[in-house]
Amino acid sequence: MIIPKKLRIGDEIRVLSPSSSIERTGGLEANQVAEETLRKLGFKVTFGKHILENDVLGSASIESRVEDIHQAFLDEHVKGILTSIGGFNCNELLPYLDYELIKNHPKVFCGYSDITALSNAIYAQTGLVTYSGPHYTSFKMRVHQEYQTECFRNVLMSEGKHQLSASDTWSSDSWYVPDYTPHIQQGEWKIYSEGKASGMSVGGNIGTFNLLQGTRYQPADEAVVGFLELEEEGDFRDFTRAIASFLQAYTPKALLIGRFPQETEMSEERLRLVLGKYPELKSIPVIYDMDFGHTQPIMTFPIGQVVHVDTFSKVVSFFDE
């Protein structure tokens, strides 16, 4: 396991688009608030050479995206890498990446959604801990930004023990639309089955993670804690068959489930019915409605690091060692 050096005030963060182009979110100008937020945190922000490339599939070419990833890891001035947005095609990059280059130049790599494929593949191929957390564009979110930013800083800018716990509030809104009314709800992680357990953190977006099954990019750990979430384009049926696939590939020590966007029509009743199909989930810690995935805010957590789950205190913790 390789834990990358923590970010510091004054560090350069490189923004890349390994999945959809940043043009999907309006380009650089439409995301200036995100750049301002990161600069206020003390970071220098730069962008990949091909960040604005945008073909008929809404993305840059494989060659351009791979070049930007390699250059970001090679550049000694770059201390952290943030993805601009998710998408649908990150996994097509995996055979073309130079994993020895990445392993020899370890640094913070953070994103979520479709980036799940890249984060888990890098860990599986190199042992480098990556992070599921905010995209670059996430930093222009107004409501819930305090929790999101504080978690980002805690995990990526400080050494030692890290504890993740529920946000006070959350919402499932089109927060990126200039004029919207947030529907604020009380934040609470909910328990399906109680217990304490430890294991290697894997997962992220469940559909994207399952694309790695049967490939050399799938994490091969036996004792895992699975982080699973579903995007707003999916629905509860997609999660139902995706979790079956995940449980056929792994026997997790604990299962952590992100909040479901309202578009998925996943109710608490439906989720508990799905979980109840699997007797093994009654004997391990299972928490749901957690702060990661496609609702707001989202926490930052590692991929490829031992995490400790305690449902009694509703805390997920890990140590940098």
Tell me the pLDDT tens digit for each residue of 55-79: 999 999 999 999 999 999 999 999 9
pTM: 0.96
pLDDT at 136: 97
Q: Catalytic residue at 294? A: yes
pLDDT in tens, 78-126: 999 999 999 999 999 999 999 999 999 999 999 999 999 999 999 999 9
pLDDT at 321: 75
In the chain, residues under CATH classification 3.40.50.10740 are 12-160
Query: Can you read off the two tokens belonging to residue 271?
Result: 């989720």
Task: Out of 3.30.980.10, 3.40.50.10740, 2.40.110.10, 3.30.360.10, select the CATH number for domain 12-160.
Answer: 3.40.50.10740
Percent with pLDDT over 70 in the chain: 100
Q: Which of 113, 119, 171, 201 is catalytic?
A: 113
pLDDT at 175: 74
CATH number at 163-319:
3.50.30.60
Q: Which of 50, 135, 144, 294 is catalytic?
A: 294
Rounded to 5 degrees, φ, ψ at 304 are 95, 25
Spatial CA neighbour of 189 closest among 313, 17, 284? 313
Q: Which of 19, 229, 231, 308 is catalytic?
A: 229
pLDDT at 181: 78
143 — pLDDT class (breaks 50, 70, 90)? confident
Spatial CA neighbour of 47 closest among 166, 138, 137? 137
Q: Catalytic residue at 70? A: no
pLDDT at 242: 98
Spatial CA neighbour of 302 closest among 204, 195, 159? 204
Choice between 193 and 143, residue whose per-residue pLDDT is larger: 193
Query: Can you read off the two tokens belonging to residue 72?
Result: 């970001």
pLDDT in tens, 159-214: 999 999 999 999 988 777 777 778 899 999 999 999 999 999 999 999 999 999 99
pLDDT at 253: 98
- State how far the Cα of 237 lies from the Cα of 229, in Å rounded to an integer: 13
- The pLDDT of 33-54, averaged and rounded, is 97
Q: In the 3-class helix/strand/coil scheme, how is the chain assigned residue by residue?
A: CECCCCCCCCCEEEEECCCECHHHHCCCHHHHHHHHHHHHCCCEEEECCCCCCCCCCCECCHHHHHHHHHHHHHCCCEEEEEECCCCCCHHHHHHHCCHHHHHHCCCEEEECHHHHHHHHHHHHHHCECEEECCCCHHHHCCCCHHHHHHHHHHHHHCCCEEEECCCCEEECCCCCCCCCCCCCEECCCEEEECCEEEEEEEEEEHHHHHCCCCCCCCCCCCCEEEEEECCCCCCHHHHHHHHHHHHHHCCCCEEEEECCCHHHCCCHHHHHHHHCCCHHHHCCCEEEEECCCCCECCCCEEECCEEEEECCCCEEEEECC
Q: Catalytic residue at 229? A: yes
- State how far the Cα of 152 lies from the Cα of 55, in Å rounded to an integer: 32
In the chain, residues under CATH classification 3.50.30.60 are 163-319
